[in-house]
A and B are shown apart, each in its own frame.
Chain A
Amino acid sequence: MDIIQIVGLGLVATVLTLIIKEQKPMFAFMIAMITGIIIFLFLIGKIAEVIQILERMAVKANLNMIYLETILKMIGIAYIAEFGAQIVRDAGQGAIASKIELAGKVLILVMAVPIITVIIETVISLFPS
């Protein structure tokens, strides 16, 4: 029952944050950040198992590994950007958080360009010239 532990951890961290916030807001922010990191570190183990299974299936299906790798990188960028943006927004800097999200979207788009090119070339090659 991992979810119970995570919810308990979140509740304890919230109480501690509320206690500290009156005296030192900086420490409250640090507690919130480290709680997020710990929960994320816990989740990333599970995500790794799922990714290994996906990889095995891709190898069995004779899929080109470049595509799977690109998709995994996109998921990684999305996770990191979301995490950073949420923490920054929590600290009250909504503008910087929006810029982080924008950067994540642009970087994902850049990674998707080769795949889009391949698709368009394939479609064009289907037309009789």
Chain B
Amino acid sequence: MPFDVNAIFQIAGIGIIVAMIHTVLKQAGKGEWAEWITLLGIIIVLYMVASYVSDLFQEIKRVFLFK
């Protein structure tokens, strides 16, 4: 299998952990910190997804557009 499926599990793990930290921080009364943690997680995941999207576009260009 040429592709790595690990990215899916990584993102799912980050999501679960972020949700957990969010809940714990909110219970501890630090709502603002919880929001920042959520934002940080979203930025990290967005970076991963963006690199994958760039990968996909390069591949499509290679196969279809530039002969």
Contacts and interface: CB of A to CB of B under 8 A. Distances in A.
A73 B15 contact: no
Contacts of B1: 5, 42
Interface stretch (A16-24, A88-96, A97-105, A120-128): A16-24
Contacts of A44: 59-60, 63
Contacts of A27: 11-12, 14-15, 18, 41-42, 45
Interface in B40-67: 41-42, 45-46, 48-49, 52-53, 55-57, 59-61, 63-65, 67
Contacts of B60: 44, 76, 79-80
Contacts of B18: 24, 27
B11 A73 contact: no
A73 B65 contact: yes
Main secondary structure of the interface of A (DSSP, over half): helix
B64 A75 contact: yes
B19 interface: yes
Contacts of B12: 16, 19-20, 27, 31
Interface string B1-28: 1111101110110111011001000000
Interface of A: 5, 9, 12-13, 16, 19-20, 23-24, 26-28, 30-31, 33-35, 37-38, 40-42, 44-45, 47-48, 51, 55, 65, 69, 72-73, 75-77, 79-80, 83
30 contacts: A5-B1, A16-B9, A16-B12, A19-B12, A19-B16, A23-B19, A23-B22, A24-B15, A27-B12, A27-B15, A27-B18, A30-B46, A31-B8, A34-B8, A34-B11, A34-B48, A37-B52, A37-B53, A40-B56, A42-B1, A42-B2, A51-B63, A69-B67, A72-B67, A73-B64, A75-B64, A76-B64, A76-B65, A77-B64, A79-B60
